Amino acid sequence: MFDLQGKTALVTGAGSGIGAAIARLFARRGAAVAAAALDAAAAQRMASKIMESGRTAAAYQCDVSKPDSVDALFRAVAAASPRLDILVNNAGIAHVGTIEQTTPEDLDRIYRVNVFGVYLCARAAVPVMLRQGKGVILNMASVAALVGLPDRFAYSMSKGAVLTMTRAIAVDYMKRGIRCNCICPARIHTPFVDGYLAANYPGREAEMMKTLSEYQPIGRMGQPDEVATLALYLCSDESAFVTGQAYPLDGGVTAV
């Protein structure tokens, strides 16, 4: 089950965290992985680790907020493989603040990466998948798209847009072989979290880690590999009957 042999999977934001976990797992399941990241060195490190394990991967630098960069990415992937079976729109950035604390520049920055970037990549992938007659797009939304989170105005806006884009794509293309779903994680323990705590709560990292962990009723943050496992299901043929869905992976946040 969950065999991706012979498939090509493009994962954005693959340099670390959730994207890296997805890239590694998909490669272990047989996919040829195109690992894209804003940081070219991070993408190359990830691709190199995959290749060291005897799997197939290639690294690409891409700023998903820029049309020219996305076009260049998809041209490069197409030159390496005639197929694009899976697109994982994982690249994204965060922002902390209420609407009063969110400047127009903040909102535009979040929109350009988290919303416009998903649009650009999906828009580039759809024609390829239509020519093939099938394909899967998986977007990374957030529990912030499902419930209200304090001090996450811009981030919540962007992830709500990702959820509705997911459903729109699913409805438009479900009869033409393309499935589209999204994952809505609660807090996942990634290097971003560690960096955020170090920058904003120096000397109080352990205390704040406990606070952030306890937000999830299950009592901890999720792990990138747990997100990757759900991503594998949603991008495999075992989920062929699933499209247009938003999957909470939230440690019980939406259950209480």
Angstrom distances, CA of residue 114 to CA of 3, 5, 33, 202: 29, 30, 22, 28
The Cα 152–Cα 107 span in angstroms is 11
The Cα 23–Cα 48 span in angstroms is 12
Tokens of 178: 């393309």
CA-angle at 10, arms to 72 and 239, nearest 5°: 145
Is-contact 80 4, C-beta < 8 A?
no
Which residues are designated catalytic?
155
The Cα 136–Cα 179 span in angstroms is 5
Tokens of 11: 């994962």
